[in-house]
Structure 1
Amino acid sequence: MTDVRSPEGRLILVGNGDPIHIGSHLAEAAAAAGYQMCFEDVRAAYDASVWRKRIDWWMRGRRPSRLQQFSAELVEACRSFRPECILSTGLAPIDADGLQAIGKLGIRRVSYLTDDPWNPTHRAGWFMNALPHYDAVFSPRRANLEDLRRLGCRRVRYLPFAYAPSLHYPDPPATCDEVKAFSSDVVFAGGADADRVPYVQALLQAGFTVALYGGYWERFRPTRPHTRGHADPMALRKAIGGAKVALCLVRRANRDGHAMRSFEVPAVGACMLVEDTDEHRAMFGEPGRAVVYFRAVNEMVQTMGRLRDDPAERERLGREAHRLIVGGHNTYQDRLLAMLEPTAVGMTAALGRS
């Protein structure tokens, strides 16, 4: 269990309030830690007609339709609520002018940069201009730390993803209907990036039953019959608990060394077949300690066959991965407190500089 330290005061949190998003996880963590919190949902920045949103996204550099208004509203919220810190998640719709104004109010500006802003899918000039105005930027990927420093971000730290104990816990299928609905050889939860499809296709061709959760798997003919749509937290727990093995792939376009599922899956409890990265090895240790790694498609398929036929080893691996993650201060409350620690932000020296 996470130790709850005495909070310093008020916090404005800017993120997506959907229960599956990190903004929601951090809001729950802040409430549990006793912070007085104001939550500003980023979806309000995109509130416009369909055509306006398309024009702003595709012709105006992936710009939220209400970027200026939303930024101004955040400044007013800071004036009225008077937080010690404003913490944003992901590619938060706060422009450079808004961040400068917030800094002049003596409020710490912290970004938990859960996406890679150099990913061509969502690279945006307005966001790149805003990033250097944060007092601290925390990134869950080591690959972009130097890029952030070269951009002008004054304090850059690595901070991994985490899990939410209220959502990510063991909850296997409990009835015959649930077992029928959620049983599989392999489960994968995540978007259908083109470079992920060959891994799934190889598993299907080898005869494994694969359950796919997440967006866009229906776009690819080999995976279309196996897609089960988006999973809410309960369905995700059941799907992970009902699978023999959970596949963990990183997102290459984001230059990930690990993913949100790298923490969520072991918290729920499963034998994991994990893409081999330095970050995964730092989390789970040497091969076979808590997870099994792979680097190539054929290695993944061969290893999956061995795991399918060895239930005792699957149980041991799942138990050890769960122990490592749940016992290792890896909740979103742990991450929140790390970001709000004044020494981590260097707040006094940075306030009001931009």
Structure 2
Amino acid sequence: MEHRKLLLVANTGPEHVGNYLYQAAVSMGIDAAVHHVQLANKGPRWAVAAAWRLDRRPLRLGQYGKSLIERCAQFQPRLVICVGIAPVSRSALLAIRRMGIPVFDYLTDDPWNPRHYARWFLQALRHYDYVFSPRRANLDDLKRHGCPAVSYLPFAYSEDTHLIRDCRTATEDSSGPDIVFVGGADSDRIPFMAGLLQANFSLRLYGGYWERFPATLRNAGGIIPPQEVQRVTASARIALCLVRRANRDGHVMRSLEIPAMGGCMLVESTVEHRGLFGEEGQAVLYFQDIPELIRKARWLLDHPEERQRLRAAVHRRITSGGHTYRDRLCSMLACSALTTDSEAERSHARMGTDR
């Protein structure tokens, strides 16, 4: 295999996409390095907070850009992949491109979400060589914004972090809650949880900020490591999957992680979810509102054999091929010179209809 160098601009914490892409690159024999985005906010908390209030700006945006340019000069990657709303200014991005290094962005968040909206990032965004988005809802926005190349690229699962090889080894915890949800406490998610609790379901919520809402305070389990997420998902009777509406999501990271972990899914109905999981009852059950969520959760609790069938069906559907972060990395590499012919052929076949 030819020598290949890839520089990731990312957070490689254990639950982040950057970590999964780095694992995938190493498994493919790519010489991969990471320029950690946390460096852009190194400083006193008050200063970081003040800079963030000013146009969502990282505290050390300029210094980070200079250090990234220096890293590129030293490491000489064939490709730079930024993940999310990366702290790379327009001037830094253009400087890297002048070095002959293409720069891609796997845009894991919606930059038009009011929580993420930052003029400095939008100024830089149109200068990426390629932007990949895991949400169809903003593809046209990205094209209108002036991004030269845009493709839909869904989230995935990590074979190292999420995958249970045989979901028959997943056994439900008879003493555990009826329903488990892993994700942040967005305000539009609270009514769903309040509805389940009012309907007397036992519920456990993992992720940030659930303790801030009176309705979910007692059910908050905090942020837990990936190994524990895998355990609680596999042992839950029902694993709930909600999108983030402010992000215009059609699916989320958990949409692919839950099947790999062997969970029985009750899924918010979206076009993207139905594309992933098929018709109702093939691999998951869908809901569109709180009454339907409650009704289908009760049905699943009353039908343990169906829970096991659905658990196996969705695991088989998602893990049978094409949904790992290695697959996603191959798709991005296929749009650069940093790929082998066989990888390019497979990846273009997967992406052909999404451009």
Say yes or no: TM over 0.5.
Answer: yes
2:239 is matched with which residue?
Answer: 246
Q: 1:208 aligns with which of 201, 205, 216?
A: 201
Task: Work out the CA distance in 2 between the residues paired with 1:344 and 1:235.
Answer: 38
2:120 is matched with which residue?
Answer: 126
Deviations 1:75-117 (A, max 9, x none): 1111111111000001100000011011111111100000000
Deviations 1:126-176 (A, max 9, x none): 10000011000000000000111111100000000000011112399x9x9
Q: 2:20 aligns with which of 14, 18, 25?
A: 25
2:10 is matched with which residue?
Answer: 15
1:291 is matched with which residue?
Answer: 284
2:332 is matched with which residue?
Answer: 339
Task: Work out the CA distance in 1 between the residues paired with 2:10 and 2:201.
Answer: 38
2:57 is matched with which residue?
Answer: 63
- Give the counterpart letter for 1:67 in structure 2: L
CA contact (8 A) 2:173 2:236 kept: no
Task: Work out the CA distance in 1 between the residues paired with 2:111 and 2:208.
Answer: 21
Task: Work out the CA distance in 2 between the residues paired with 1:276 and 1:8.
Answer: 44
Q: In 2 relative to 1, CA 7–152 (structure 1 residues): closer, same or farther, beyond 3 Å? A: farther
> Are residues 1:44 and 2:43 paired?
no
Q: 1:329 aligns with which of 303, 322, 331?
A: 322
Task: Work out the CA distance in 1 between the residues paired with 2:22 and 2:271.
Answer: 30
CA contact (8 A) 2:82 2:105 kept: yes
Equivalent residue runs for 1:159-238 within 5 Å: 159-170=153-164, 179=173, 183-238=176-231
The SS at the match of 1:103 is helix
Give structure 1 stretches of 5+ with no counterpart. 1-5, 346-354
- Give the counterpart letter for 1:288 in structure 2: G
C-alpha displacement at 1:262, in angstroms?
Answer: 0.2
1:53 is matched with which residue?
Answer: 48
Equivalent residue runs for 1:45-124 within 5 Å: 45-58=40-53, 60-124=54-118
Task: Work out the CA distance in 2 between the residues paired with 1:23 and 1:340.
Answer: 15
Task: Work out the CA distance in 1 between the residues paired with 2:274 and 2:154.
Answer: 13
CA contact (8 A) 1:7 1:35 kept: no
The SS at the match of 1:133 is coil
> Are residues 1:257 and 2:250 paired?
yes
2:138 is matched with which residue?
Answer: 144
CA contact (8 A) 2:79 2:336 kept: no
The SS at the match of 1:160 is coil
The SS at the match of 1:187 is strand
- Give the counterpart letter for 1:238 in structure 2: R
**Using CA pairs below 8 Å that are at least 6 residues apart, which structure has the higher relative contact order?**
1
CA contact (8 A) 2:9 2:36 kept: yes
C-alpha displacement at 1:297, in angstroms?
Answer: 0.5
C-alpha displacement at 1:219, in angstroms?
Answer: 1.0
Q: 1:318 aligns with which of 307, 311, 315?
A: 311
CA contact (8 A) 1:113 1:140 kept: yes
Q: In 2 relative to 1, CA 186–47 (structure 1 residues): closer, same or farther, beyond 3 Å? A: same
Q: In 2 relative to 1, CA 205–8 (structure 1 residues): closer, same or farther, beyond 3 Å? A: farther
- Give the counterpart letter for 1:269 in structure 2: G
Task: Work out the CA distance in 1 between the residues paired with 2:38 and 2:156.
Answer: 23
Deviations 1:10-57 (A, max 9, x none): 110010021110011111111111111121110010001111111101
- Give the counterpart letter for 1:101 in structure 2: A
Task: Work out the CA distance in 1 between the residues paired with 2:36 and 2:174.
Answer: 37
CA RMSD of aligned residues (A): 2.0
Task: Work out the CA distance in 2 between the residues paired with 1:187 and 1:31.
Answer: 33
Give structure 2 stretches of 5+ with no counterpart. 339-355
> Are residues 1:269 and 2:269 paired?
no
Task: Work out the CA distance in 1 between the residues paired with 2:24 and 2:229.
Answer: 21
How many aligned residue pairs are there? Answer: 337
2:349 is matched with which residue?
Answer: none
C-alpha displacement at 1:328, in angstroms?
Answer: 2.6
CA contact (8 A) 1:7 1:34 kept: no
Deviations 1:239-263 (A, max 9, x none): 1122101100000000000000000
Identity %: 48
